[in-house]
Structure 1
Amino acid sequence: MGEFTRHCGAPVVYFQAARQAPLADELATLADSVATSDLPDATVAADAAPRTLTAALTLLAAALPDDEPSVVVIDELPWLLEQVDGGAGELQRVWDTRLSKKPVLLLLLGSDLAMMEHLTGPEQPFHGRATEMVIDPLTPADVARMCAADPFDAFDAYLVTGGLPLVAQEWEAGWSVRDFLDHSFGTSTSALVVSGGRVLDSEFPETSLARRVLASIGGRGERTFSAIQSDGGSDVLHPGTLTATLRMLRDKRVVAADEPLSARSAPKNVRYRIADPALRFWLAFVEPALAEVDRGRPDLALARVDRGFAAWRGRAVEPVVRDALSRLLPDATWPHVDQVGGWWPRTNIPEIDLVGTTWNRDVQLVGTIKWRQNPLKADDVAALSTDATSVPGVGAGTPLVGVCPGGADTEGFATVWGAADLLDAWG
């Protein structure tokens, strides 16, 4: 947003709300943002002290020019509206009566996706009045270009940076994961170190139940409801409380709930994972290292990554691979693959990394993901063939596929996708 406002060529008002700030302070800050902007009539807001949101927005409208375009950015809108009963209605009314009559681009931003979507839902103030746009993180292909990385290293860079531009821009061309982490763990103010904390602190207080659940899923790798519930030892979470927390985290797109994909539905075998790419690596490796980084011991943080990165990456890359194949398929080779997922039973043994089906859940392929530079071998084919017999809908003729950056030294797979093939999913 900063790049846009700097280069848009129009006068700009930028206001960012603060969570749980007193309403009087927020309204004064909004008026000051108008008064200190480059609007031609910004002085109308000088020394103003609006007491209501309507008054503050009316002041904004008075400062906007009638004869040239302008831009107004209200960042973290949900935090402003949570301080005002009926605030969304006030904003809608001032838009209809005053702001919409000006040549102004009004940008309403918020990191709380559930709340932002609510504002434009049916029977809500901005239903039919706004164009919605979700600003996603950089894709793996974006990161590859930004970091000048080859396909294999690009996925490493994506997994570590989460696709956050401010983090990725610190990754220099030719760096390995170790090089980047050596740089990032060397200072407590690096983009990687501060990014996850900012994301979490803006939405979830440190002592909240949501933080506990996120630490369980992202920090300790718990995936099942029962494992998350009992992760606190003797302090077992009440099922209803955990259900509500997981629902809230899913609504906010922070956590995802995956069901096994096969010819038979299995909703009771849901597995949870961190959906926000900015938090996956951060919760697993950065948050546990914050104290070490603060006291100048990046070596301890790096040692933790050395011990756990390979196993973590093997798991973390799976949803990224499935996303890529969901974009690439169907194609000429696999014209009937409409859904891509994985499969597992209640015991998690065996786990099948890839399952491709039609919309009617007719299994078209099963596959393995081996994220390594060494090629797939005949024993990988044999292991997949054995394990796949457990998947409902898989028969003797179901094709086997593989994903491996190192390719394959066997003809047992119908298709093998490498890292470069997957990058093509994002253009």
Structure 2
Amino acid sequence: MAAEFIGRRAELAMLRKRLDRVAESGSGSAITIRGRRQVGKSRLVQELCDASGLPYAYYTAIKGASLPEATGLFLAELKSSGLPADREAIPETVSGWPDALRALASALPETPSIVVLDELPWLAEQDEAFDGVLQAMWDRLISRKPVLLLLLGSDIHMMERLTSYDRPFYGRADNFVLPPLNVAETGQALQLEPAEAIDAHLITGGLPGILRSWPRSTPPTEFVKAECADPATPLFGIPESTLLAEFPSPDHARRVLEAVGSGDRTHAAIAATAGGIPSGTLSPLLQRLINEKHVLAQEQPLSTSPGKPALYRVADSNLRLYLAVLRSAHDLVLRGRTDAAFRIFERRWASWRVRAAEPLIRETLGLAATSGMLPWPDVEAVGGWWNRQFDPEIDLIGADREPVAQRIHFAGSIKWLESSFDQHDWASLQRAVSALPGWDPTRGELIVVSRSGLAPQLDGSGIGLAWGPEEIVETWRSG
């Protein structure tokens, strides 16, 4: 299993830099770390605590705990930690969080230390005044000691609110969003070749909580087949728990998310599938799911002219796969129909993968462009283009800016199938770009990203760039 700590070099370096700053200044520094469930926030912070060799206290809030229970558990954790010089000086009980945080301040040593408050939104649920108390105790007592305070939470919107301008803790913490592992880190964790590493990344979303259950060197389809015999596997449980936590009731938001997850991409199609939600309700709801919940992503057609319509997709590929495929399979697994569950996955996997790979490939080319790895130094935006009829629909556009470009540097096609990119695909791409606003064949080049390479009979002399799985993984390894 992929149980050891993988990747996170940049994230650990950032946290170590903050620790160095604490040691140099002799005063406290605070960071909020947010990210979706099972993305590895707690594991990252624990790795920092272990590697630093510094005294630390790690408290994880419990959802639904009463205020006396929460503060009592906090004090017990503080007493058993490496912070206090005199453990007997830590009280057993206090009247509330002000006294609990005063106890923390008194326990902090005069040398650098680390304090972690995990699942912070649950503390805010228990006590509406918690962030105000935290601000007061931080300003008056805690920040005067050389401590790195790490505030963790999976409720992204609530974590954002903690440090927004109208909240007490505003301006007192750096904000950091922990992303999933990238595709190179996924491949490293599972010891898979590039093509299978990309498949594994699409299945897991790069979530360590799922990767830990994946035996090394196991091909993706074999892993899914084995998991279909386990109704409690993280492959099903993690996306299901995300849905239950973020959308506990079947309201409009849940219906819209499920419509997008089933494959509806346009405003009109989502409205119809979700039960005819009026446009005045659907539009702000979509923006809330994008900007607050961060479960949807919106894409605009990229060219030298404004374009419509906008397209929507589930932002996380694991949740996207669950809504489109794995939820139906899980229902069968729960009924003991393991073989039927895996057949559903087999039938839907190839077509689902075609669409799911597109945003990853665009993001990869965008990373390559900003890292100077592409032959077009002026490319700053990578997207796709389509018209209202989706005929044609061009997978890749590289431009100088978005959503309305001044110049298009490349256009291209993604073929993420077992068959290679052939003469028919090449002819289709050449026809499609003739409809692209701003396309100049004398200044722009055509590119191809193919899972199975170029067909041997294809004359590739007109292809400005041809990438496969190896280049995608290497970009993330080097970027």
Per the TM superposition, whether the score is higher than 0.5 is yes
Q: Which residue of 1 aligns with 2:335?
A: 295
Q: Does 1:129 align with 2:169?
A: no
Contact 2:116 2:150 in 1 (8 A): yes
Q: Describe the shift of the 1:209–1:59 C-alpha distance in structure 2 as closer, same or farther (beyond 3 A).
A: farther
- Tell me what 2:407 maps to: 362
Q: Aligned to 2:57, what secondary structure does the other structure show? A: strand
Which amino acid in 2 is paired with 1:17?
A: A
Whole-Å separation in 2 of the counterparts to 1:264 and 1:407: 32
Amino acid at match of 1:225: H
Q: List alignment gaps of at least 5 residues for structure 2.
A: 1-41
Aligned partner of residue 414 in structure 1, secondary structure: strand
Secondary structure, aligned partner of 1:109: strand
Match of 2:60 in 1: 16
**For the residues of structure 2 that align with 1:292 and 1:419, how far apart are their CA atoms?**
33
Give the partner amino acid of 2:153.
G
Amino acid at match of 1:347: Q
Q: 1:425 aligned to 2:475? A: yes
Instruction: Report 1 or 2 for greater relative contact order, CA contacts < 8 Å, sequence distance ≥ 6.
Output: 2
What is aligned with 1:388?
A: 433
Partner of 2:383: 341
- 1:415 is paired with a residue whose SS is strand
Q: CA deviation at 1:123?
A: 5.3
Q: Which residue of 2 aligns with 1:257?
A: 298
Distance 1:207 1:60 in 2: 42
Correspondent of 2:133 among 90, 107, 110: 90
AA aligned opposite 2:391: I
Q: CA deviation at 1:124?
A: 4.1
Hey, what does 2:464 align to over in structure 1?
414
Check 1:31–1:208 CA distance in 2 against 1; reply closer, same or farther (3 A cut): farther
What residue is the counterpart of 2:321 in the other structure? 281
Q: What does residue range 62-81 of structure 1 map to in structure 2 within 5 Å?
A: 62=106, 64-81=107-124
Distance 1:20 1:236 in 2: 36
**Structure 1 residues 212, 59: CA separation in 2 closer, same or farther (over 3 Å shift)?**
farther
Q: 2:421 corresponds to which residue?
A: 376
Q: CA deviation at 1:362?
A: 1.3
Unaligned runs of 5+ in 1: none
TM-score of the pair, normalised by structure 1? 0.90
Cross-structure match for 1:317:
357
What do the CA deviations read for 1:303-335 (whole angstroms, capped 9, x no partner)? 111111001000000000000000112546222
Aligned to 1:351: 393
- Which residue of 446, 451, 455 corresponds with 1:405? 451
- Matches for 1:48-63 after TM superposition, within 5 Å: 48-50=93-95, 52-62=96-106
Deviation, structure 1 residue 357 = 0.9
Separation in structure 2 between the aligned mates of residue 297 and residue 7 of structure 1, nearest angstrom: 45
Shift of residue 270, structure 1, vs aligned partner: 0.8
Once the two structures are TM-superposed, the CA of residue 142 in structure 1 deviates from its matched residue by: 0.4
Cα deviation for residue 71 of structure 1 reads 2.5
Residue 15 of structure 1 and its aligned partner are, at CA, apart by 2.7
Deviates more, 1:405-414 or 1:135-144: 405-414
**1:49 deviation in Å?**
4.1
Query: Is 1:111 aligned to residue 161 of structure 2?
Result: no
Aligned to 1:269: 309
- Where 1:133 maps in the other structure, the secondary structure is strand
Q: Percent identity?
A: 36
Question: Once superposed, what is the RMSD of the aligned Cα atoms?
Answer: 2.3
SS of match in other structure, 2:387: coil
**What is the aligned partner in structure 2 of residue 222 from structure 1?**
264
> 1:196, CA displacement in angstroms?
1.0
Q: How far apart, in 2, do the equivalents of 1:278 and 1:68 lie? A: 42
Q: Is the 8 A contact 1:376 1:404 kept in 2?
A: yes
